[in-house]
């Protein structure tokens, strides 16, 4: 009788394990080395293709995804302008097996962006070097289709130094963005988007929400923008040029629907300026947003400290002389002047040494002038 210790089947299993375990260890080591080398290769190639100002801390390759961590990008002057904690791309197995140019998801986690306008009016920000498109087979020219682009935990710091006496600094936090059905490079399809963020101010924190659809390539879009409780004090230099006036507090609620077609934007909006606190430093009869401070204070006291208004935004985005920001501010200022001039009903009362009816007429003309872009 053969001892169980020396049974042929058991001896075979032992020999197999002695061979298989080292082979498995070698294969595992080879796989790890291959993945590590592939991750390093992908990281180096991506850095080279995006330009000298881009650096990637590390890359990790999975079965259906690839992730890049600690992505940094500098501006033209060599200063840090963008930092992304992680960028990850997800794929479907079916797409990989069939060779489809499809990416299930590109996710940006905690991107931190710095933009600035210098004293000469030049915008500085992330400098991305993209290599020129190369010719090739028709198959090589087909776009990659991204199912969804998602941004979470984003932040934006913007500064404007054109006015050395009153630089503008604006912070946008908690940025969340989703963009569906995006083609790279653009092929003319529309992509639905949703955007939300918070905007901290000196005396409060506002919220921003926008949704709609956008077409890259021939740039067209339609959507809506909603601002709630936006602290307008950081934006004061954009609409208030009188240094003798101080804006201590003020908030804006805004609803805007707009459409861009062929580079032309047209939109209508409603807004409410509320809880304004304005003072004339020198008591010189100054103006706030083109409106005499004395009349503004009188209107606010009699209208629950709110100024409801309507405005329009329209212009050619391809025209270098057109500024969407200035057009929007001009529309709000014009609407404010018209609201104060036409809503205030105090017949026979004198404000700042003149009759209300005269001031109403003046503000009506002021609103019309602002609409036409003529300074009062």
pLDDT recorded at residue 320: 72
Residues of the chain above pLDDT 90, percent: 26
Cis check for the bond before 185: say yes or no (omega within 30 of 0).
Answer: yes
> Where residue 346 falls among pLDDT bands split at 50, 70, 90?
very low
pLDDT in tens, 274-284: 988 877 766 65
- 19, 74, 131, 154, 177 from 126: Cα distances, Å: 55, 6, 16, 15, 19
pLDDT reading at 237 higher than 70: yes
pTM: 0.74
DSSP annotation of 318 = T
SS3 309: strand
- State the average pLDDT for the chain: 75
- More confident position, 228 or 318: 228
> Where residue 285 falls among pLDDT bands split at 50, 70, 90?
low
Residue 169 CA to chain centroid, in angstroms?
Answer: 15
pLDDT in tens, 300-326: 777 788 888 888 888 888 877 767 767
């Amino acid at each position: 009788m053969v001892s169980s210790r020396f049974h042929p089947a058991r001896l075979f299993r032992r020999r197999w394990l002695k061979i298989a375990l080292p082979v498995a260890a070698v294969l595992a080591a080879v796989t790890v080395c291959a993945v590590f080398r592939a991750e390093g290769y992908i990281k180096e190639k991506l850095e080279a293709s995006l330009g000298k100002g881009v650096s990637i801390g590390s890359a990790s390759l999975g079965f259906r995804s690839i992730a890049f961590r600690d992505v940094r990008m500098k501006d033209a002057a060599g200063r840090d302008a963008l930092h992304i904690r992680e960028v990850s791309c997800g794929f479907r197995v079916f797409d990989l097996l069939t060779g489809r140019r499809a990416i299930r998801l590109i996710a940006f986690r905690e991107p931190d962006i710095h933009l600035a306008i210098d004293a000469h009016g030049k915008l500085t920000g992330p400098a991305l070097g993209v290599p020129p498109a190369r010719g090739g087979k028709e198959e090589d020219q087909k776009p990659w289709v991204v199912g969804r682009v998602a941004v979470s935990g984003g932040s934006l710091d913007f500064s404007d130094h054109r006015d050395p006496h009153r630089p503008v600094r604006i912070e946008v936090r908690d940025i969340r963005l989703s963009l569906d059905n995006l083609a790279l490079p653009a092929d003319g399809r529309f992509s639905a988007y949703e955007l939300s963020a918070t905007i901290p101010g000196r005396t409060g924190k506002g919220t921003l929400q926008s949704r709609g659809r956008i077409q890259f390539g021939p740039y067209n879009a339609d959507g809506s923008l909603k601002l709630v409780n936006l602290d307008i004090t950081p934006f004061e230099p954009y609409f208030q040029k009188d240094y003798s006036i101080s804006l201590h507090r003020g908030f804006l609620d805004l609803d805007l629907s707009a459409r861009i077609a062929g580079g032309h934007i047209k939109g209508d909006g409603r807004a409410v300026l509320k809880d304004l606190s304005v003072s004339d430093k020198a008591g010189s009869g100054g103006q706030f947003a083109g409106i005499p401070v004395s009349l503004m204070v009188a209107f606010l006291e009699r209208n629950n400290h709110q100024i409801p208004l309507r405005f329009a935004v329209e212009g050619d985005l391809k025209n270098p002389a057109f500024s969407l920001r200035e057009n929007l501010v001009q529309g709000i200022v014009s609407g404010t002047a018209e609201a104060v001039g036409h809503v205030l009903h105090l017949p026979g009362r004198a404000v700042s040494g003149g009759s209300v009816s005269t001031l109403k007429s003046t503000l009506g003309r002021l609103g019309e002038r602002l609409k036409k872009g003529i300074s009062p």
